[in-house]
Amino acid sequence: MDSSILVERTLAVIKPDAMDKAAEIEDVIHRHGFMILQRRKIHLSPEEASDFYVDHYGKMFFPSLVAYMSSAPIIAMVLAKDNAIESWKELIGPTNPFKARETHPRSLRDTYGKDQTRNAVHGSANQRTAEREIHFLFHDSIVEPIVSDLSAKDYLEVNVNPTLLKGMTELCKIKPKDPVTWLADWIIENNPNKPKVAQYLVAEK
């Protein structure tokens, strides 16, 4: 497994028609290995729904979609997982639940969808859309990928732990009155990446 894998984030929305199945849907999300980083229940205004679905502006179904998405509360979630965007799209299935029943049986839209508008859930189409949609519904969210546990562990073991272990050993020997400040100074002084200044002797004339 590549230890440099980053955990991607995507937006998931439980739509008004599936709100009574929210607990079941969230259970499916967990069972498929997603982390729910943020979650909120919100009732969008028609203006907010219009802005959220701005990529569909001008399409025939746009007015009915906006009216539907602003008709009742929804649940928005920020999901995280390796390859989260494509994994979530695969789990929810095609936009049309009838097509989902043919190509993605047991997907969320197959299980809970009623028609192309009332199709239970929403997922971001790509990275650009995910960033915009997450910022739209979670204004303070950081969308950059987060480091997986394995990647973080390997990074610390290679780049931090060897130096930190030496510093902690010296700290235990000396037992200074202010151990935190002493350790910080020691790390700065013994930073293995610190540039080495060459010493030159200047011959006397």
Predicted confidence (pLDDT) per residue in 64-79, tens digit: 999 999 999 999 999 9
First and final C-alpha spacing in the chain = 63
Separation of alpha carbons 183 and 26, rounded Å: 45
Residue from 30, 56, 104, 122 carrying the catalytic annotation = 122
Predicted confidence (pLDDT) per residue in 132-166, tens digit: 999 999 987 655 555 555 555 666 677 777 888 88
Q: What is the pLDDT of residue 173?
A: 87
Q: What is the model's pTM?
A: 0.68
Q: What is the pLDDT of residue 151?
A: 52
Domains parsed from the chain with CATH numbers? 6-148 (3.30.70.141), 160-189 (no CATH)
Strands (E), the chain: 6-14, 35-42, 74-81, 121-123, 146-147
The closest alpha carbon to 93, from 109, 79, 80, belongs to: 109
| Residues forming beta bridges with residue 76, ordered by sequence position | 13, 40
Predicted confidence (pLDDT) per residue in 107-117, tens digit: 999 999 999 99
128 pLDDT higher than 60: yes
Residue 122 is among the residues annotated as catalytic for this protein:
yes
Q: Is 8 helix (H, G, I), strand (E, B) or coil?
A: strand
- Token readout for 159 is 């780049």
Separation of alpha carbons 171 and 114, rounded Å: 65
